[in-house]
Amino acid sequence: MQVCPPKFWILKALALLASLLLSQGALIAGVYYSQESYNELPSQWRGLLMDQRQLRQLAVEPKPKQISSEFRKKYLQDLSRLDKLSKERKLLPEEFADQGALLIRLNQAPLALETLRKADREYPLNFRILANLSSAWQTLGEFDRAIQVSEQAIALAPGKYVDAEKLQLFWIKQLKKQKAGQKTDNLFNLQFQSLEGKYIPGGIDPAQLKTIPKDAIASVQLLALWFPADSLLLMQLAEIANASGDPEVALAMMDGCVTEFGLREGLLLEHRRILKEYVQGRKTVKDEKHQDHKSWFVPKSLRPFALDKMELDLPPIKANAVNLLPWLVLAQTQVDRKALAQYPAYLKQLENQKVQIEGHMQPVGEENESSTFLLLENPVGCWYCEMPSLNGMVLIELKDLKVVRMSRQTQIIKGKLQLRKDDPEKFLFTILEAEMHQAP
């Protein structure tokens, strides 16, 4: 995709608004949903990639016999609760905004539009409702309507949220230009080639580096979380990831642009080919795999989502029975600077209980057969790019040291849960005496 530099005042305003917004640590705009809390951005690229995919998968209806992710189940439960509440009484402004946001996330934009237009009639001076209404119009490709409502949201937003609304408005205008067949502006005026016209795997021309706004990565990560199914945005995100020194993640994103969204932009395909050759070449060099990942930015968090702040509707724990072990509960475990684990109360109650969890096998080492392996919620391709944090993996030790072959199919695991206590060298979660079978 060839890009044209935006006007200087746009760049200056964008850098300023990103700096003001991200210094607050709370990101409220785009798609406002009260249960989505964010850590300070920018996050590590692999964390951003995981959370963005989680959001993108929310919109995908599972196939017959396919298991919904816990994330999707959580959003569906919240939507059901609000739908039920709306039949009992008039929803409050934040509840209306949440209902609309959930519908957008779950790929029900027409219903979201209907809900949010009704909400706007009930509460015409609520900027959260207007921000979500603008996002609904944007999702449906009605960019003129989206711009009109976004401008209203900016006029009504409290001062600390104005900059976030302006950031969304800027991107909607770029999408409108693209729809009209015009060249879109790169968000940060970056050219991803050297002065000689060559693409630089895992880096960027030093002259370009000096022009990058301080919070460029944080800004584009924020947009990607608001609109995870925006293929053009993902393409820009991939280029910035590569420019920051992470070609593996950039390649994973470009693969998504091609395989998931069907993009066939000439530069995208060319840059993807160059990165694939570069990454494969690194893998063939002894002791060089995934080394020298130096970047010109410093991430401020492991992942965007602050899952420890998410409210979960959990079933009561039953003694002498098999209890479900939710991945979202595991994700709420925190590790402090002394490497000590802070487990949520629900998880502490499950310790030494028999639990059941579903996930995907990941070998601990290079062996393709073992009695011990890691269980992840989602399968990974590149371990470096997509490796979950410690609270996103469970060590499985099979009963009677049974040796099994690694499989890409979803597995159901049953066994006794053990927490690691104060030993930082152990995994946070282990399931002992485990039995497994393939999910239907």
- For the cut 80, the answer to whether the pLDDT of residue 395 exceeds it is yes
Distance CA 327, CA 72 (A): 12
pLDDT band at 295 (very low <50, low <70, confident <90, very high): low
Specify whether the CB–CB gap between 379 and 343 falls below 8 A: no
Specify whether the CB–CB gap between 67 and 410 falls below 8 A: yes
Residue 197 vs residue 227, higher pLDDT:
227
Same topology, domains 1-313 and 317-438? Answer is: no
Predicted confidence (pLDDT) per residue in 251-266, tens digit: 999 999 999 899 998 8
The burial of 389, by beta-carbon neighbours within 10 Å (0-12 exposed, 13-18 middle, 19 or more buried), is given as middle
Scan for tokens 């992710």, then name that residue.
69
Predicted confidence (pLDDT) per residue in 161-183, tens digit: 777 788 789 889 989 998 888 87
- Domain 1-313 in this protein, CATH class: mainly alpha
Looking at residue 78, what is its pLDDT?
Answer: 95
- CB-based contacts of 114: which residues, under 8 Å, 6+ apart? none
Both structure tokens of 26:
């709370």
Residue 207 vs residue 58, higher pLDDT:
58
Distance CA 249, CA 242 (A): 8
Looking at residue 285, what is its pLDDT?
Answer: 55
- For the cut 50, the answer to whether the pLDDT of residue 286 exceeds it is no
pLDDT band at 136 (very low <50, low <70, confident <90, very high): very high
Amino acid at site 355: V
Looking at residue 189, what is its pLDDT?
Answer: 67
Choose the weakest-confidence range: 41-55, 247-261, 285-299.
285-299
Amino acid at site 409: Q
Looking at residue 22, what is its pLDDT?
Answer: 37
Q: What is the pairing mode between strands 341-342 and 334-335?
A: antiparallel
Looking at residue 293, what is its pLDDT?
Answer: 46
- For the cut 90, the answer to whether the pLDDT of residue 311 exceeds it is no
pLDDT band at 219 (very low <50, low <70, confident <90, very high): confident
244: alpha, beta or left? (left if phi > 0; alpha if psi -120 to 50): alpha
Distance CA 117, CA 82 (A): 17
Specify whether the CB–CB gap between 14 and 167 falls below 8 A: yes
* CATH no., domain 317-438: 2.40.50.870
Specify whether the CB–CB gap between 366 and 403 falls below 8 A: no
Which of 111-120, 235-244, 425-434 is the most confident on average?
111-120
Specify whether the CB–CB gap between 317 and 347 falls below 8 A: no
Report CA 175 to chain centroid distance, whole Å. Answer: 21
pLDDT band at 14 (very low <50, low <70, confident <90, very high): very low
Amino acid at site 1: M
Looking at residue 270, what is its pLDDT?
Answer: 94
Average pLDDT on 261-279 reads 92
Average pLDDT on 145-157 reads 94
- For the cut 80, the answer to whether the pLDDT of residue 313 exceeds it is yes
Distance CA 219, CA 168 (A): 10
Residue extents of the structural domains in the chain? 1-313, 317-438
Predicted confidence (pLDDT) per residue in 100-122, tens digit: 999 999 999 999 999 999 999 99
170-197 burial code (b ≥16 CB/10 A, e <16): bbbbbbbeeeeeeebbbbbbbbbeeeee
Q: Which residues pair with 356 in a beta bridge?
A: 324, 414
Average pLDDT, the chain: 84
Looking at residue 27, what is its pLDDT?
Answer: 47
Whole-structure pTM value = 0.77
Q: Which residues pair with 436 in a beta bridge?
A: 413
Specify whether the CB–CB gap between 179 and 148 falls below 8 A: no
Residue 160 vs residue 415, higher pLDDT:
415
Specify whether the CB–CB gap between 119 and 97 falls below 8 A: yes
- For the cut 80, the answer to whether the pLDDT of residue 134 exceeds it is yes
pLDDT band at 62 (very low <50, low <70, confident <90, very high): confident
Average pLDDT on 412-440 reads 91
What percent of the chain has a predicted confidence (pLDDT) above 90? 45
